[in-house]
Structure 1
Amino acid sequence: MKASTVSQLNHLFSGLVMLLITCLSGSVYADETDHSEPLTRKPNIVILFADDLGITDLGCYGQEHGNTYHETPNIDLLARQGMLFTNAYAASPVCSPTRASILTGKYPARLRLTDFLPGQLQPQFRGVTASQPEQQFLPPGEITVGQALKDGGYSTWFFGKWHLGKGTPADFGFEQEYGAQQSEANRFYPFKKKQKNLGGKEGDTITDVLTQKAAELIREQRKQWDSGQKQPFLLYMSYYLVHMPIKARQEAIAYFEAKKKTKKWKRADYAAMLKILDDNVGRLMQALKGNGFADNTVVVFYSDNGGHTCTS
């Protein structure tokens, strides 16, 4: 490995430690199977990205503010078993700069990518006086966590929302990518055209399909381990939820419609979306446990920025 790559890898690992929520070793998710040897010296890394998630929307942050309406037991469990940050901030209040920052370990200003893409270049912003991001894409050649870990011997997988302009995760060190071709996607099948390698059928949500694909890769990785190919992995799951449009399955909405609401938390459709996100986090954790990876996996849960606010 090149010295520059080692330096960048160390820098990126430091950033991950800053964001760390939990290492599954010793948690209730840990695999109870007695392994005769550690799975690997290098930990597997799972980064879970939510979109436009407000801090008090989660039970682990929101209950002290009176939010008893939303239900996020799986994410709350990660917080209880790991580290919970109460004074940490995203690199930017909007999407693309934060995503670029997490991937590269650099401030958005250093990347000259300081607004969501394509920003005010969209037709609805014509006539608005605002600065444009100098870059309309993640600059080619930037070393991402995907590239650094790939160079360090990891298998690297990207799922979901990219939103970093031209180029794809494959151009930045991710060996496999699912979804990833734009900033948004239909909530239900059929998904938008440029979604890569997703498949799906009538009634599927894109969140469920992304999680299913991730679970499949985890199972395949287990088979490789059993055959002696013990390669650690980076699973970068960039969910589209809970970004607008606010849509969810009717049965999930009906559940929250029947639940007692509060003055601040009362949208059944949003609560249902959030529960779908949380359910899928739980499925991923169970996939790690069921395949024997839970005792050597670091899990990070993060949102690109806070929730939307309205002035009227």
Structure 2
Amino acid sequence: MPQIGPYTLTNAVALAPMAGVTDLPFRQLCARLGAGLVVSEMVNSNPRLRNTDKTRLRTRHDAEIEPRSVQIAGNDPQQMAAAARYNVALGAQVIDINMGCPAKKVCRKAAGSALLADEPLVLDILQAVVAAVQVPVTLKIRTGSSPQARNGVSIARIAEDAGVAALAVHGRTRACAFRGRAEYDTIADIVAAVDIPVFANGDIDSAEKAEAVLRHTGAAGVMVGRAAQGRPWLCGQIAARLATGSTPPAPSLAQQVALLHDHVSALHLFYGDFLGPRIARKHVGWFLQHQPQWLTHRAAFNALDDSAAQLHMIDQLFTGTTAENMAA
């Protein structure tokens, strides 16, 4: 199993950090359903943002599986080092550095995947963060700034030399964003170039795909991102396939609805009566995308702003109801 510093993961499947997605309730759910590592939403390294509600929620780790991994983002080495120390004091056991996000609002600040174009700055940030904390430091990257400038191998070697404990590599460049297909040849080259564990990321949407990507790249593990939205059991399915060679079925429809009910209830508790129902809408929407027979009810659910009403609608529409009845 992959090793990150002193931590041996229970399996080789990690849930990718995703802003607005991998909050504490979702991380807890995916871990319970089989993810071997879950990573927090991106936490801005700017110290002026530490006392905001968003940062406060993103740095909670109640009853979270270990190792507790927190992703930080920024472009100033000393701010990043301070952010690492701050999050370790709050309970982080692994510090993950974001150099993979392609979002314009992140890259405009020369952070995220924009950093890949500045290798000296990458080195400065990694050295500062590694020196600042006693916990393992990991790094999430893309394969480069653009298809014409794939420097992922060079970045990976810089990371290893700086003391980074593990890498996650998304098989697209910054310029590609999420368009087109992920490519895994560069990830294979990175695996061959370094001795630290590498997690392959990008377009891993099934257990069979995960197995094929590991076979192609030789990576130590896979990292699942958008495909887990609406399917929090996917990491567990992948882990089972890698362990046994066979893919367990997804939970039954009744079990999926029960999981959704529990997840929405946890979101209400975590975010409160105002924000909780609003956050729940997108998670229910992702679930419904995989249940086209119920997708017409998305608008009605999104119109609800009361916690009890949302749970009641889930129970009334879904629990014990077959797809045939819903379609009738």
- Is TM-score (shorter-chain normalized) higher than 0.5? no
Q: Which has the higher helix share?
A: 2
TM-score range, shorter chain: 0.3 to 0.5
Normalised to the residue count of structure 2, the TM-score between the two structures is 0.32
Answer 1 or 2: higher relative contact order, Cα 8 Å, separation at least 6.
1
